[in-house]
Amino acid sequence: MDIKPTAIDLQTSMMLGQQTSKSKEDLKQVAEQFEAIFADMFLKEARKGELAKSLFSNQASETFQSMLDQEYSKLMAQKAGLGIAEALYSQFKDHVGGEE
């Protein structure tokens, strides 16, 4: 499995490096972003299972599909959720200060 940094990875790492506040709200956001990264990786692997290339398959459509998958991943983590963010939050909530 080839793991390459995505825009979500870079955005999350920049956010983590810039923030010094350790609040429970920050923990929720980071847990949700982690879930989005997981969902994005899941979608990328699922797309590799295509039986054949489509008639209109090219680099531009693959780039667009990748960007669309990242947005789908964010929405899945925010709206539907896989339970990963909640599990991470409940695991680490006692280790951070701040308001819920």
Q: Does 8 fall in a domain?
A: no
Query: How confident is the prediction along the chain (100 residues), in pLDDT tens digits per residue?
Result: 455 555 555 556 555 555 545 788 888 899 999 999 999 999 988 888 877 777 777 888 889 989 999 999 999 888 877 889 889 999 998 888 765 5
Q: Does 89 fall in a domain?
A: yes
Q: Does 87 fall in a domain?
A: yes
Q: 58: helix, coil or strand?
A: coil
The range of the structural domain enclosing residue 78 comes to 24-48+55-95
CA 55 to chain centroid, in Å, comes to 29
Number of domains in the chain: 1
Instruction: Please give the pLDDT value at position 55.
Output: 76
Q: Does 85 fall in a domain?
A: yes
Q: Does 83 fall in a domain?
A: yes
Dump the DSSP string for 75-93.
HIIIII--SHHHHHHHHHG
Alpha carbon distance 43, 65 (integer Å): 10
Q: 51: helix, coil or strand?
A: coil
Alpha carbon distance 29, 31 (integer Å): 5
Q: Does 19 fall in a domain?
A: no
Q: Does 2 fall in a domain?
A: no
Q: Does 70 fall in a domain?
A: yes
Q: 55: helix, coil or strand?
A: coil
Backbone angles phi, psi at 18, to 5 degrees: -90, -25
Is the pTM higher than 0.75?
no
